[in-house]
Amino acid sequence: MLDSVLKARSVKFRICVKSAIGVALVALSVLLPQLTHAIGGAQAGSTWMPMYLPALLAGCLLGWQWGLGVGIIAPIVSFGFTTLAFGEAMPMLSRLPYMTLELAAFGGVSGAFASLIRKNALYSFPAVLAAQIAGRAVYFVYGLIAGRSFSALFDSATAGLAGLYAQAVIVPVAVIALAALLNREKKENDK
């Protein structure tokens, strides 16, 4: 989506802007779980799934490559930072592969819709839904390969439904609002 605003700029500038946004979204994916756990307790993370929101935003705003990258990097950075800073890893080491694969799917699939979102921000709704379905499918497949029972995976997946529902609204609304702001700014600059 940001490509339409940045297309008149040099490749270096575009990469710098996208890198800065990507870094900010990775930082947000470290900060949001901390806030969620501080406010809602230990179970709030698995209920609201706050780390998933920045990966979805990265895909919708920056494209599939950046969404995939943020999805892969975010849980690894969060794990390293929280282990070093607090002595308690978030996500736990046992959950790190699940989250890395799932967030990669969330970011990559939502990013696959980026060219459509650039034309009409309403496509962010199906982008988020498709990303959530793909991410949950990756979670299930990896979990089954790793030897977890289907019922345990199902229970874990259903615990995060509130977060998925909230993100299915929050992310598209944020993308639509940003698109409206960028379009207004572009029209003012074209005058």
Q: Is 57 in contact with 175 (CB distance < 8 Å)?
A: yes
Whole-number Å distance between alpha carbons of 136 and 63: 20
Rounded (5°) CA angle 81-64-127: 105
Whole-number Å distance between alpha carbons of 77 and 57: 17
**Per-residue tens of pLDDT for the chain, all 191 residues:** 677 767 777 888 888 999 999 999 999 999 999 999 999 998 899 999 999 999 999 999 999 999 999 999 999 999 999 999 999 899 999 999 999 999 999 999 999 999 999 999 999 999 999 999 999 999 999 999 999 999 999 998 899 999 999 999 999 999 999 999 988 877 777 76
**DSSP one-letter string for 26-91:** HHHHHHHHHHHHHHH-TTHHHHH-TTHHHHHHHHHHH-HHHHHHHHHHHHHHHHHHHHHHHSS-SS
Q: Identify the CATH number of the domain in which residue 126 sits.
A: 1.10.1760.20
Q: Is 78 in contact with 90 (CB distance < 8 Å)?
A: yes
pLDDT of residue 123: 98
pLDDT of residue 191: 67
Give the domain range for residue 154.
Answer: 3-190
Three-state DSSP class for residue 152: helix
**DSSP one-letter string for 73-140:** HHHHHHHHHHHHHHSS-SS-TTTHHHHHHHHHHHHHHHHTTHHHHHH-GGGHHHHHHHHHHHHHHHHH
Q: Is 56 in contact with 131 (CB distance < 8 Å)?
A: yes
How many distinct structural domains can be found in the chain?
A: 1
